[in-house]
Every structure is written in C-alpha cells, then in structure tokens.
Amino acid sequence: MRILVIGAGGVGSAIVAAARRRDFFEQIVVADLDEARARRALGALPDDRRSSAARIDASDRAAIVALARAEQANVIVNACDPRFNPPIFDAAFEAGCHYLDMAMTLSTPHPDRPYELPGGTLGETQLAASAAWEERGLLALVGMGVEPGLSDVFARYAADHLFSSIDEIGVRDGADLVVEGYAFAPTFSIWTTIEECLNPPVIWERERGWFTTAPFSEPETFTFPEGIGQVECVNVEHEEVLLIPRWVDCNRVTFKYGLGDEFIDVLKTLHKLGLDRTTPVRVRDVSVSPRDVVAAVLPDPAALGDRMNGKTCAGTWVRGTGKDGTPREVYLYHVADNEETVGRFGSQAVVWQTAINPVVALELLAGGEWQGAGVVGPEAFDAVPFLDLLAGSGEPWHLEERAP
C-alpha cells in the first residue's frame, strides 16, 4: 500500500506517526501547503525510506492528481478540514486511488425550514457518487475518524453481536479536559466545531426519516465512564446520523456532544456577531473570512497537549432487545487520557483518538480484511477485525452494561 496523506496538521501528523510504527504499507507521503510543516510531521521518529514530505495546495484538484500519480499512491487520506473534501475526493477518483476521510462534505441548511427539514446533508454529494466509484472498483471510506468512525463501528458491532432489535443508537461524546492558561481554547479545529455546532442538528427516525432541530436542543445528562462523570449533552450535527441508518437496522439515531454552558455561550456569541460566517468581508484593503479570523486568533489545538489535563470519551449508546429477548442497554466506548497520549505519542488526546482509527482502517484494507468498492461508511464492514486490531494496537475499547 502506498499512502498519500493530504494535510499535516495535528491529525494528519498523528496519522503519519501512528502508521510509521507499523509495517503494513510500502510508502507514506505527507503533503501540506506548508512543506516545512509536512517535514515536521516526519520528525517525531527516526527517518526511514518509507516516508517523505511534499508541498500541496489541497484546493488544487489537478495538483493532487499529479502528486498522487508521481508517488504511485493507491490510497489518499484526507486529513484536511471538510472544506477541502470536494477537490481531494474528486482527485482521488481521477487518479484511480482509494480514498479515506474523517469528516464528510459540508451540509447546507434548508432555505425555508432549517430547524425542521434537512437541506443538503453531510456527505450527500459523496454518497451520490457511490455508483461511479463502484464501477471503477474504487473504495471511498468516508467518516473514518473517531466520531464519525469508531462510533459507527460500535453501532455495527452492537447490531451484529449484542441485539436482536435496536430501538435507538445514540453517539455520546464527553470529556473532563481542562486547558490551562487560556480562557477559551477548543481542543479540535474551531472552524469545524463552529460548523457542526451551529448548523441544524440532524436526527433519524424510521417513521420520519431525517429531520432537523435547533442547535443545542434536547439537553440530557449522560454519565461517562472512567471518572469523567455526568456531562450535559446536546444535539449537534454529525455524520453518524446520516451513515448508521444506511447499514444498521434500528429505529432512531442521534448524536449528542458534551459542550458545556460556557462553550455554547461563546459559540452563540460568535453567531450573533457574525463571526461564524465564511463569506469574506472587506477590512480596509483586505478580504477575510470572519471564521478564519476566529481560527487564527485561537491557539492551535495540536499544540495544547502540554497544557491539557483530563480524559475524553467517545462512544455509542445502544438500547433495544438483546439476543436473549430481554431489554438491554449498553455503552461501547474508547477513552483517551491526555497525559498518556502526550507521553506515548506526542499528541494531545482528542487528536490522537481521531488519528488512530484511520490507521487501523488502512491496515485492514491493506490486509484485505476490509474490502469493497463505492462510497461507504465504517458500519458497512465487519466490526470485529477493526476492534480486535484497535485493541491489539494498545487502544482498548470497552462495553458497559447499563440498566434498561
């Protein structure tokens, strides 16, 4: 397997570092608009002939095609934010490469009833291209991070091995992470965070299909394991709700995120001031996107590891009827402790938890345990090989029984 990673930010760099600890690939190239940053992504481990760095503009489809062909890549990993999905996705198809991303192409709200009906949904254009990819024998594995990604794998595992019927699959994400020295410091890309938190959240129900609600709606208190405790979670737009119902039989799918009142207030303020907008505004002689300004003045999430303390938990809560015919409720989850991930891998917890999952998926694809064609989500594949390899990579996952 010859891998081209587009994007050398926190997640892209962690993907390269995790992959280079394993031997399933022949060559890995990491490319970024800032070639120096791409070279730094290779610096955490002793250099080897299997890895190299390059410069690329992720918005330039033709340049990506040329680089992929020059490097004889057979898979492109998109480690950029989802603004760049269209050119990278299209370039992979043109170059005859398989494709993997961790966040799907952005949505557009319904023009008249945004808090009732979906407009253009997350990944809609990617999924619509599935037949063309399948015809060419190419696989686009979309949403293969931690959420979406591992959360979808958990949903498939629950459906195959734990339940005879499922009433609800609810992805629940919470943390007790604290960043010292900053009044406000998101642990993931603020650009993406604004997008998913301020867009209308999507819910799926068997009888209604997909529908939307207001941002931060339906708050609930969810108890997270391993000392994190109770966290209030709210509806947020996320890919799992668009992916899981396509491959897993259930009655309802939701995604709720533990943001906290202060974080929600900041996001609401950004929205009120128009600072969440992506359309450039004129400031004297310069045109600039307000959201890009917000991102520029905040600290780089990838550089926060030594200032962070605590754990983050990603998981999938499932309730329904167990294999024995009785009511059952479980929470399948993975916890990343920041002290451990920084100490072992040099990456803060949220970044590392995202990055390890595409590496596991790539190894399964290289070995043939996962194979297919078309545009698919992680829940389209057998969950057991993934979870076994994840645990074997030193990243244990857990199943917690809860009272139904």
User: For the segment 210-238, what is each residue's pLDDT rounded down to a tens digit?
Assistant: 999 999 999 999 999 999 999 999 999 99
Cβ atoms within 10 Å of 43's Cβ, excluding its own: 11
Both tokens of 289, joined, read: 């996107």
What's the CATH class of domain 2-101? Answer: alpha beta
> pLDDT at residue 354 above 60?
yes
> pLDDT at residue 62 above 90?
yes
Computed over every residue of the chain, the mean pLDDT equals: 95
Q: Is the peptide bond before 385 cis (omega within 30 degrees of 0)?
A: no
- CA–CA gap between residue 117 and residue 131 (Å, rounded): 26
Residue 89 half-sphere exposure, CB side, CA atoms within 13 Å?
28
* Cα–chain center distance at 383: 17
- Poorest-confidence range of 29-33, 224-228, 244-248, 277-281? 277-281
Beta bridge partners of 178: 309
Q: Are strands 2-6 and 75-78 parallel, antiparallel or unpaired?
A: parallel
Average pLDDT over residues 24-53: 87
pTM (2 d.p.) = 0.95
Would the CA dihedral through 297, 302, 307, 308 be positive or negative?
positive
Average pLDDT over residues 273-301: 91
- CA–CA gap between residue 306 and residue 347 (Å, rounded): 9
Cβ within 8 Å of residue 346, ≥6 positions away: 17, 44, 305
CATH number of 150-349+395-402: 3.30.360.10
> pLDDT at residue 46 above 70?
no
Average pLDDT over residues 86-98: 98
Residues of the chain with CATH 3.30.360.10: 150-349+395-402
- Name the band, by pLDDT with cuts 50, 70 and 90, for residue 45: low
**Strand boundaries in 274-386, DSSP class E:** 281-283, 286-288, 308-309, 311-322, 327-337, 374-376
Residues of the chain with CATH 3.40.50.720: 2-101
- For the stretch 250-267, pLDDT in tens is 999 999 999 988 999 999
Cβ within 8 Å of residue 380, ≥6 positions away: 247, 372
